[in-house]
Amino acid sequence: MSDIATNVIVDGTLNTLIGASVVTWALILVKGVQHLRISYHHRNFSKRFWSAADIQAASQLPDQHGPAARVAGIGFSTLIETDSGASTHDLEHTWDRQELLDRRLRQQMQKERGSLESGLAVLATIGSISPFVGLFGTVWGIMGALTNISKSGSASLEVVAGPIGEALIATAVGIAVAVPAVIGYNFFIRRNKVIWAFLDDFAIDFVHLALKHGFVIERAGSKSANAAARLTEISAAKKPASKPLHDELIAKEAHA
């Protein structure tokens, strides 16, 4: 076993572990920012949603972001769709309104879950294999060191300690990479469970609210359009008769 091959393998192992460490901390930073934003959006949305006068007012809340807001948006659009009166003959609309609403909410929750879990598989993989990658570099380095020792014909402490000590660095680096990856993975898994429980409770409450209001919700602006149409009808009813009709009424009265 040549010194060049040993150095290349050990150095490659260390570079791989350093790259895995960079990926780990990048994912921890990205996921940390993601969870901070989700926590902020959930607090803001929950306060505004439950402070609304009714479900109609809640459906028109502006500038709402976050998983809960997107789940609510799917629910509102489903209620509007089922109340539009359009005839549909596909399998998706064979359920009643409540079943369709529940299905759409669950689908959106699964999408949000996929977004929350993105990147966690990488953290789990790095946390699992990094110690073994480091151990591989250590074993290879020790094999090279023992080969060189056998060639030199000396087994003194000065000859053995240096090469073997350098080889053990790979194991230490592997453990140093694995520890934050495992901690980050466990932390975000726990946070995901909290967010998922929040979304699940919110979806159940949303279905109950929709059931309470008969699964009926109007499109934004439909009330103003209906009011305008009503005003037009009233003004038309109050408008005086046209001149030809007026002349005809006068002629009938004169004839009488």
More confident residue, 177 or 95: 177
The answer to whether 180 and 25 are in contact (CB under 8 A) is yes
**Mean pLDDT across the stretch 28-32?**
95
What is d(CA 45, CA 119) in angstroms, rounded to the nearest whole number? 26
pLDDT at 81: 79
In angstroms, the Cα distances linking 245 to 26, 43, 87, 239 are 81, 64, 43, 13
Inter-residue long-range contacts of 208-211, CB under 8 Å, 24+ positions, other chains counted = 209/55, 210/55, 210/75, 210/79, 210/97, 210/98, 210/101, 211/98
pLDDT at 226: 45
pLDDT at 60: 84
**Mean pLDDT across the stretch 37-51?**
91
| pLDDT for residue 179 is more than 70 | yes
Residue among 24, 47, 58 at smallest CA distance from 209: 58
Residues 6 or more apart whose CB falls under 8 angstroms from that of 188 comprise: 31, 35, 116, 120, 123
Per-residue pLDDT tens digits for 141-160: 788 777 777 776 666 666 66
Alpha-carbon Rg for the chain, nearest whole angstrom, is 35
pLDDT at 85: 55
pLDDT at 150: 74
**Mean pLDDT across the stretch 55-78?**
86
In angstroms, the Cα distances linking 162 to 151, 155, 171 are 16, 12, 16
**Mean pLDDT across the stretch 59-63?**
81
Mean pLDDT of the chain: 79
Residue among 165, 120, 131 at smallest CA distance from 16: 131
pLDDT at 9: 82
| Domain parsing of the chain, residue ranges | 3-219, 221-256
| pLDDT for residue 32 is more than 90 | yes
The answer to whether 126 and 181 are in contact (CB under 8 A) is yes
Give CA torsion, residues 157, 160, 166, 170, to 10 deg: -120
pLDDT at 165: 76
pLDDT at 63: 77
Q: pLDDT exceeding 90 applies to what percent of the chain?
A: 36
pLDDT at 106: 92
Per-residue pLDDT tens digits for 194-225: 999 999 999 999 998 888 877 777 665 554 44
**Mean pLDDT across the stretch 105-113?**
91
| pLDDT for residue 26 is more than 90 | yes
Quickly state the pLDDT bin for 229 (edges 50, 70, 90): very low
Residues 6 or more apart whose CB falls under 8 angstroms from that of 20 comprise: 126, 130, 133, 177, 181
